[in-house]
Amino acid sequence: MIHISNIKKGKYPFKKEYLNKLLARYKENRGLHKVHFVDLPQDCILEFNKEGHAILNQIFTKVKLNYGLDAIHRKHNVNFYSLQDFLNNKQIGLSVKKIISFKRFLEKVQLDILNLELLEKCVLAIKPPGRGNKLKID
């Protein structure tokens, strides 16, 4: 089966038969998370449930206390202010690109506090870039 990431990268044209295969695979593995953050386009917006908010709040608090938001932004070009806006309900979600940049920064400073597998289970909806309806996840 052709993986979503190969379709996203333009290696294969997207056809209806691929969608049918993905739906069949989803029905076989219902409840298992087969689509990962890295499979989605980087400008997709993700909305999280309360558990996801708690995970992200814990990360934000630890990073803010240990490193400072301005210092991180200047030295590493990672914007944790968008996470702060999200946690304060000024944004509806976070882009995949932001989450991946947070993960890379945390790996760079050797903090293993962001579990992407756990965070993927906390996604409530995926919104495409630009204008479009969000896809709610059961």
pLDDT in tens, 94-115: 988 999 999 989 888 888 888 8
Predicted local confidence at residue 53, as pLDDT: 93
Q: Is 53 exposed, middle or buried (CB count within 10 Å of its CB: 0-12, 13-18, 19+)?
A: middle
Helix (H) or strand (E) segment spanning residue 47? strand 45-48
Q: Are residues 57 and 125 in the same domain?
A: yes
Residues 27 and 49 in one domain: no
- 29 has a pLDDT exceeding 80: no
Can you give the pLDDT at residue 32? 58
Q: Are residues 49 and 115 in the same domain?
A: yes
Say whether both 28 and 87 belong to one domain: no
Give tens-digit pLDDT for 70-82.
888 888 888 888 8
**Whether residues 43 and 24 fall in one domain:** no
Mean pLDDT of the region 64-93: 88
Residue 54 has pLDDT above 60, yes or no: yes
What lies within 8 Å, CB to CB, of 20 at 6+ separation is none
Amino acid sitting at position 111: L
Number of independent structural domains in the chain: 2
- In the predicted model, is pLDDT for residue 55 greater than 90? yes
Q: Among 2-6, 100-104, 129-133, whose mean pLDDT is lowest? A: 2-6
Residues 26 and 58 in one domain: no
Regarding whether 108 and 93 lie in a shared domain, the answer is yes
Together in a domain, 81 and 114: yes
Q: What is the pLDDT of residue 1?
A: 39
Characterize 8-33 residue by residue with b for buried, 16 or more Cβ atoms within 10 angstroms of its Cβ, and e for exposed. Answer: eeeeeeeeeebeeebeeeeeeeeeee
Q: Give the length of the chain.
A: 138
- Shared domain check, 117 and 82: yes
**pLDDT at site 5:** 53
Judgement on whether residues 12 and 58 belong to the same structural domain of the protein: no
Pick from 99, 96, 106, 100: which is nearest to 83 by CA? 99
Encode pLDDT of 38-51 as tens digits: 777 788 888 999 99
Are 64 and 122 in a shared domain? Answer: yes
74 and 52 co-located in one domain? yes
Expressed as residue numbers, the domain containing 13 is: 4-32
